C-alpha cells in the first residue's frame, strides 16, 4: 500500500469559485491508473471536517490511502492525529494558493516546522505545490521578479521554501488535465513507484532472513524479576502547620480586642513568613527597611504591641518561659474575623475563596466584608506592588511556606532554640519543629530537659545531615548530594520518626542505583551490602527488600565482590533463589556452546 498525506488549501480567500474540486480529488478522479475510489470525512466538530480520507487502487492492485487535510489547525487541535498521519506517510503533499500571501507566511513560519518535527528526520519525499495564476495577469515564472510581492507569493519564495524543506517544487497555474495529470500526477506517481520499490526490497530482505537454515537456537534469557515499586508519601506540610494553630503549642504572640475580652494565639514565624507587615510589627524588619509606606501605616493603624517597643530594631531569641507578646487589634470588625484570617494564613494562604465565604457568613454585610478583605490583601501585599483581586484567586496563589520559611532556616531571627552539634550551634524555631516532627513535639512539650532549655545537644548525627533534616522540616524538600548522604539523612529521619523524609531518601537511593551502568556498578567503592545492613537496622523495610532484589538482579557483578560474603545465610538464600541470570539458563548456555563446538559451526563468510 501507499499512504499519501496532503496539507494545505489551494484556494485563496478571494476565490470566486469555492465549488472547484480540490487538487487531490481532481487527480484521483482523472487518473487512468486509479480505480475503486472511496472517500469519507473525519471531523472533530460536526460540520467542520478535519481531513478527507480517500481509498483507491493504483497500478492495478496496490492499495492507495490519501488523507487530504485542508485545515492546518489539526496540528494545534489534535497533535497526536497529525503526528500519526505524518509519521505513517510515504509521500507528503503541501499545497498553497499563490494569491494568499498571509496563509503562505503562516505555513512557512508555523506549520512547516511542525511537519519537520513530526517527520523526526525520516526521509519521506515532499511535494510543494503552488496553485493558481497570479492576479496581475500573465503568471510570473521569473525567479528575479520583485514586482508586487505583497499581493501574491513569488516563485522564488516557493523555491526557497522547497530548498529549506528538501522538497520538490511544482507550480500549477490552473487545475486542468495537463497540470494535474501530467505534471503533478507524473511526479506523484514517480514517488509512489519509489515507495513501492523500497517496500518490496525490505520485504525481500525479511523473507531471505526467515528462509535461512534453521539451526539450534541459543537459550532465551528471560527478563529479571520485577523489583518492588516504592511509592512516595503525600505531603502533609500545610496540614502540619494548620494543626499548629489548632493546638496552640509554642505560641509566642496573642491578639486581643481593644476591650481585652477575646484573645487569639499565634506564632510570629508563621505570620512573618507570609507578611512583610508582621515582619515590621515583630521587629524582623525595621521601619527604615520598609519600601512601602502604606504597609507601615496599616501596621500602626491596625495593631498595637503592648510589650516593649512596638517596632524593635533587633529581634532577640525568646526563651520558652517568656509569655506571648500582646498585640491589640484596633479594628473591631477585623478582630472578629481574625480567627478565620489566621486559619487562612496557616493553611498556606491559598484558599482565598473559602476565606471570602467565611467572612461573608460571619459579617453578613457587603461593605464590612469588603473592608476586612482589603485589610487582608494589604497584610499579604508585597512592598511596592499593587494588589488586584485576580492575584488572590486560589488557582493563582502559590503556597508560601515552603519558600518563605526558608528565609528563617538556620538564622537567629525569631529563633527560640539552639541545637549544639559537633561543636557548632544551629538556631531553630520551636513552632516549626513541633508542627513538623512528632518526636520534637513530645520533646519540647513533655517532661524533658529540652522543654525548659534553649540550648539542646544533638548526638549520633553529623552537622551537615542535621542541617539537611531541618531544611526539610522548614521547606518540605530535600536534595541529597550522594547516596551516602541520603542514607545518613534516612537514618536521621528514622531517629526522629519523619516517615515522609525517610521515603524520599529511599527513592533517591533507588533512583541513583538504577541509573548506574553495569561497568560503574562493578567498579564502584560503594558497598551495596553495607547499605542493605543499615536499611535493615533502621527499619527501612522497603529499601532493604529492594536492595536484596537489586543484588540478585546483578548477581554476576556482586558475586565477585568481597562484600558478597557478608550477606547472612537467609539473605544469601534469597539472592540465590532470585538470581539473574539463573543457574538453569547458564547450564543451557553451556550445553549450547558445547553443541556449537562439536558441530564445528564456523563462519563460512570469507
Q: Which CATH number goes with the domain that contains 282? A: 3.30.710
195 and 265 both lie in a single domain: no
Q: Residue 452: inside a domain, yes or no?
A: no
Average pLDDT rounded to a whole number, residues 442-457: 88
Contact 89, 3 (CB under 8 A): yes
Mean pLDDT of the chain: 82
Contact 413, 450 (CB under 8 A): no
Give the confidence band of 394 by pLDDT, cuts at 50, 70, 90: very low
Q: Residue 580: inside a domain, yes or no?
A: no
The per-residue pLDDT for 49 is: 58
69-83, 132-146, 147-161, 411-425: range with highest mean pLDDT: 411-425
199 and 331 both lie in a single domain: no
Of all residues in the chain, the percent with pLDDT exceeding 90 is 36
Tell me the residue range of the domain where 177 lies. 2-135+152-203
The per-residue pLDDT for 404 is: 74
pLDDT tens-place string over residues 243-298: 998 887 888 999 999 888 878 999 999 999 888 899 999 988 888 776 778 888 89
Say if residue 317's pLDDT is above 60.
Answer: no
The per-residue pLDDT for 314 is: 38
The per-residue pLDDT for 423 is: 93
pLDDT tens-place string over residues 331-342: 999 999 999 999
193 and 279 both lie in a single domain: no
Q: Residue 69: inside a domain, yes or no?
A: yes
Q: Residue 287: inside a domain, yes or no?
A: yes
Q: Residue 552: inside a domain, yes or no?
A: no
- Distance CA(279)–CA(288), nearest Å, equals 12
287 and 173 both lie in a single domain: no
163-167, 195-199, 341-345, 483-487: range with highest mean pLDDT: 483-487
The per-residue pLDDT for 260 is: 84
pLDDT tens-place string over residues 458-496: 999 999 999 999 999 999 988 899 999 999 999 999 999
180 and 287 both lie in a single domain: no
Say if residue 145's pLDDT is above 70.
Answer: no
For 314-351, b where at least 16 C-beta lie within 10 A, e where not — what string? ebeebebeeebbebbbebebbbbbbbbbbbbbbbbbbb
> How far apart, in Å, are the Cα atoms of 331 and each of 298, 302, 339, 508?
11, 6, 14, 50
Q: Residue 592: inside a domain, yes or no?
A: no
113 and 253 both lie in a single domain: no
192 and 303 both lie in a single domain: no
pLDDT tens-place string over residues 335-385: 999 999 999 988 876 678 889 999 999 999 999 999 999 999 888 877 655
174 and 288 both lie in a single domain: no
Give the confidence band of 606 by pLDDT, cuts at 50, 70, 90: very low
- Distance CA(108)–CA(162), nearest Å, equals 10
- Distance CA(142)–CA(135), nearest Å, equals 15
Give the confidence band of 227 by pLDDT, cuts at 50, 70, 90: low
Q: Residue 541: inside a domain, yes or no?
A: no
53 and 196 both lie in a single domain: yes
> How far apart, in Å, are the Cα atoms of 188 and each of 52, 92, 161, 396, 554?
19, 10, 19, 53, 55
179 and 103 both lie in a single domain: yes
72 and 190 both lie in a single domain: yes
In the sheet that holds 263-266, the strands lie side by side as 263-266, 253-256, 325-329, 303-305
> Total structural domains in the chain?
2
Q: Residue 114: inside a domain, yes or no?
A: yes
189 and 255 both lie in a single domain: no
Contact 170, 130 (CB under 8 A): yes
CATH value at residue 78: 3.40.50.300
Amino acid at each position: 500500500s501507499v499512504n499519501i498525506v496532503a496539507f494545505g488549501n489551494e484556494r485563496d480567500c478571494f476565490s470566486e469559485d469555492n465549488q472547484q474540486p480540490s487538487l487531490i480529488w481532481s487527480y484521483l478522479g482523472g487518473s487512468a491508473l486509479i480505480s475503486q475510489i472511496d472517500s469519507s470525512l473525519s471531523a472533530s466538530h460536526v460540520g467542520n471536517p478535519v481531513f478527507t480520507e480517500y481509498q483507491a487502487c493504483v497500478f492495478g492492485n496496490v492499495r492507495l490511502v490519501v488523507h487530504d487535510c485542508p485545515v492546518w489547525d489539526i496540528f494545534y487541535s489534535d497533535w497526536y492525529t497529525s503526528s500519526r498521519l505524518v509519521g505513517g506517510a510515504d509521500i507528503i503533499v503541501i499545497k498553497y494558493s499563490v494569491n494568499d500571501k498571509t496563509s503562505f507566511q503562516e505555513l512557512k513560519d508555523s506549520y512547516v516546522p511542525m511537519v519537520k518535527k513530526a517527520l523526526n528526520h525520516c526521509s519521506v519525499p515532499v511535494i510543494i505545490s503552488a496553485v493558481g495564476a497570479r492576479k496581475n495577469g500573465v503568471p510570473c515564472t521569473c525567479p528575479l521578479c520583485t514586482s508586487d510581492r505583497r499581493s501574491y507569493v513569488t516563485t522564488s519564495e516557493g523555491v526557497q521554501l522547497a530548498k529549506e524543506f528538501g522538497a520538490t517544487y511544482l507550480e500549477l497555474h490552473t487545475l486542468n488535465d495537463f497540470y494535474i495529470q501530467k505534471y503533478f500526477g507524473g511526479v506523484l506517481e514517480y514517488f509512489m513507484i519509489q515507495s513501492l520499490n523500497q517496500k518490496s526490497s525490505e520485504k525481500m530482505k525479511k523473507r531471505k532472513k526467515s528462509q535461512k537454515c534453521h539451526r539450534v537456537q541459543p537459550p532465551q534469557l528471560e527478563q529479571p524479576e520485577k523489583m518492588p515499586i516504592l511509592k512516595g508519601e503525600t505531603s502533609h506540610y500545610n496540614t502540619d502547620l494548620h494543626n499548629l494553630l489548632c493546638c496552640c503549642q509554642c505560641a509566642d504572640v496573642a491578639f486581643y480586642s481593644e476591650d481585652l475580652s477575646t484573645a487569639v494565639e499565634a506564632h510570629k514565624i508563621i505570620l512573618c513568613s507570609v507578611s512583610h507587615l508582621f515582619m515590621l510589627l515583630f521587629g524582623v524588619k525595621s521601619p527604615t527597611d520598609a519600601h512601602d509606606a502604606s504597609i507601615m501605616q496599616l501596621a500602626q493603624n491596625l495593631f498595637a504591641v503592648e510589650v516593649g517597643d512596638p517596632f524593635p530594631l533587633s529581634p532577640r531569641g525568646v526563651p520558652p518561659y517568656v509569655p506571648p507578646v500582646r498585640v491589640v487589634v484596633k479594628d473591631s470588625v477585623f478582630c472578629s474575623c481574625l480567627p478565620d484570617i489566621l486559619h487562612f494564613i496557616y493553611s498556606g494562604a491559598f484558599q482565598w475563596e473559602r476565606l471570602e465565604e467565611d467572612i461573608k457568613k460571619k459579617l453578613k454585610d457587603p461593605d464590612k466584608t469588603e473592608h476586612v478583605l482589603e485589610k487582608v490583601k494589604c497584610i499579604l501585599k508585597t512592598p511596592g506592588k499593587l494588589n488586584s483581586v485576580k492575584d488572590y484567586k486560589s488557582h493563582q496563589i502559590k503556597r508560601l511556606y515552603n519558600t518563605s520559611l526558608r528565609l528563617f532556616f538556620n538564622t537567629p531571627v525569631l529563633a527560640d532554640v539552639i541545637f549544639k552539634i559537633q561543636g557548632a550551634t544551629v538556631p531553630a524555631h520551636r513552632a516549626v519543629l513541633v508542627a513538623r516532627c512528632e518526636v520534637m513535639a513530645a520533646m519540647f512539650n513533655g517532661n524533658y530537659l529540652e522543654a525548659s532549655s534553649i540550648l539542646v545537644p544533638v548526638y549520633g548525627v553529623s552537622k551537615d545531615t542535621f542541617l539537611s533534616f531541618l531544611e526539610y522540616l522548614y521547606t518540605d524538600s530535600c536534595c541529597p548530594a550522594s547516596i551516602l548522604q541520603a542514607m545518613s539523612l534516612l537514618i536521621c529521619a528514622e531517629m526522629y520518626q519523619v516517615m515522609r523524609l525517610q521515603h524520599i531518601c529511599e527513592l533517591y537511593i533507588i533512583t541513583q542505583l538504577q541509573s548506574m551502568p553495569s561497568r560503574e556498578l562493578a567498579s564502584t567503592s560503594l558497598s551495596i551490602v553495607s547499605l542493605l545492613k543499615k536499611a535493615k537496622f533502621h527499619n527501612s523495610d522497603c529499601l532493604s527488600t529492594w536492595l536484596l532484589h537489586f543484588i540478585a538482579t546483578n548477581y554476576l557483578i556482586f558475586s565477585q565482590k568481597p562484600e558478597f560474603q557478608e550477606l547472612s545465610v537467609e539473605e544469601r538464600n534469597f539472592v540465590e533463589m532470585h538470581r539473574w541470570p539463573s543457574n538453569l539458563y547458564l547450564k543451557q548456555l553451556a550445553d549450547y556452546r558445547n553443541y556449537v563446538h562439536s558441530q564445528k559451526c564456523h563462519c563460512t563468510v570469507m
